Amino acid sequence: MTPHAAPKFVRFLVAIATALGALAALPAAATGTSPAAAAAAAPYALFGGKPLEWERSGGKLVGVYTPNWQPAALVDALHGDSVTHVIYAFLHVCGPGQLAEDAPKCAGKPDYQIATSAVDDTFNDAFARLEARAPHVKVVASVGGWGGSDPFFHIADEAAPRAAFAKSAADFLRAHPAFDGIDIDWEHPTNNGSANGVQLGSPADGQGYADLMAALRGALDTLTAENGHKYILTGAINCEHVIVDKVNYRDAAKSMDYIFMMTYDFYGGWKKVIGNHAAPRASAAGAEDGLDAAIRTMTGAGVPAGKLVAGVAMYGRGFTGVARPAPGRGFTGEAHTGTYPAPEGSSDWRELAARYVDRHGRGLHGYQTIFDPQTHAWNLYNARNKLFMGYDDPRAVIEKGRMAREAGLAGVFAWELSQDNGDVLNAMNFGVGNQLLQP
């Protein structure tokens, strides 16, 4: 090296060092930093066990389901700036396919009308108080659910029932002014899986879904013309090809504001093998058990990314009789002998955090928290008792928020508020880029 070359070489090294320093300063999403490292950069305790207050600086939707079998006090305790949307679950429909339990509420009602009760009025008052302190929050009433979707199979494919139901939805909003829209939780058009002991569904449901959304959009727009309030229309859906390929989501999306992708319940007692039921990334090429796969499926079906909302689970699903996999393999696809805890094989995050996960995200009482580099999910595993629990760890939830930002999604939502101790909702906010309000 010549004396004249030395200064140039030094400047070259300095330039490299400067570039590396700038690269290190970039957000984790830009550099491919591991989810654990990205989560470690959070400006708060990820497992602090309490809801924090956030500045809505990320510009993304943050939604939570609030079931009507839980106390309305949950809404009163909610930090308004922690959410943009609340989804009230569930309203049911009278007439063909109605649930037996809804008979008292449906007495004297025409077919295809929404069943209502005093509980809805109680929540309407709670939502009005929420919107008084947080005017940006939008509340939508979700109709259906896994057990309550059978009436849609009798409504969607014919014009008269669609019109009657759409009018009933508008009537509900007119009578409950704290609500800002309707959500349709019809998860399996074309095949209800005999959810209530009666097999329903036909290929016509695929177009019927889009026609139902168009009818609802028309009814909501008519109501907007009446009172000046802008109403939103959303839906919660299963994102597997077995359903998506049969439904005209491309046209349905034209009538809808958002589509909530149920990127959870990928695994459960209904399957012979285990896996994390809410993983950010699929377990293998071609697998459909991750958020990334759902995004590809729905955008491939013609739904704009900006209308899609990523799903988060505020609960885990557990399996018994799970042997530790061979070295280098994850747990996905391993056999099980049953589910736990009884009766449904699921545990709220609130319970998992209190019993099995410490304030640093490590396992307790014989459990380990194990990161799966393929799915980017954390799982709880008790080797002695052969117990496996897949759940949406706050670190994984942060990654889901990052993924939503990178893919241009509308944001993230979770099922459901009562199951959280604050950790998951905090992670949703941090993941989509919201800033913590310092105490």
Digit-by-digit pLDDT tens for the chain (439 residues) are 333 334 443 343 333 333 333 333 333 333 345 777 777 789 999 999 999 999 999 999 999 999 999 999 999 999 999 999 999 999 999 999 999 999 999 999 999 999 999 999 999 999 999 999 999 999 999 999 999 999 999 999 999 999 999 999 999 999 999 999 999 999 999 999 888 999 999 999 999 999 999 999 999 999 999 999 999 999 999 999 999 999 999 999 999 999 999 999 999 999 999 999 999 999 999 999 999 999 999 999 999 999 999 999 999 999 999 999 988 889 999 999 999 999 999 999 999 999 999 999 999 999 999 999 999 999 999 999 999 999 999 999 999 999 999 999 999 999 999 999 999 999 999 999 999 997 6
Which one, of 413, 392, 412, lies nearest residue 401 by Cα?
Answer: 412
Count the neighbouring beta carbons within 10 Å of the beta carbon of residue 97: 21
Distance CA 341, CA 11 (A): 63
DSSP for residue 411: E
Could you give the angle at the alpha carbon of 306 between the alpha carbons of 304 and 310, nearest 5°? 105
Which one, of 431, 390, 427, 337, lies nearest residue 52 by Cα?
Answer: 427
Q: What is the largest CA-CA distance in the chain?
A: 98
Phi and psi at residue 348, in whole multiples of 5°? -65, 150
> Can you say how many angstroms the Cα of residue 113 is from the centroid of all Cα atoms in its chain?
27
Distance CA 145, CA 19 (A): 52
Q: Which residues are catalytic?
A: 187
pLDDT of 439: 63
Q: How many CA atoms lie within 13 A of 207 on its CB side?
A: 5
Length of the chain: 439
Question: Contact, 113 vs 93, CB < 8 A?
Answer: yes
pLDDT of 39: 76
Task: State what percent of residues in the chain have pLDDT above 70.
Answer: 92
Phi and psi at residue 77, in whole multiples of 5°? -85, -5
Distance CA 423, CA 388 (A): 21
pLDDT of 33: 59
Q: How many CA atoms lie within 13 A of 36 on its CB side?
A: 11
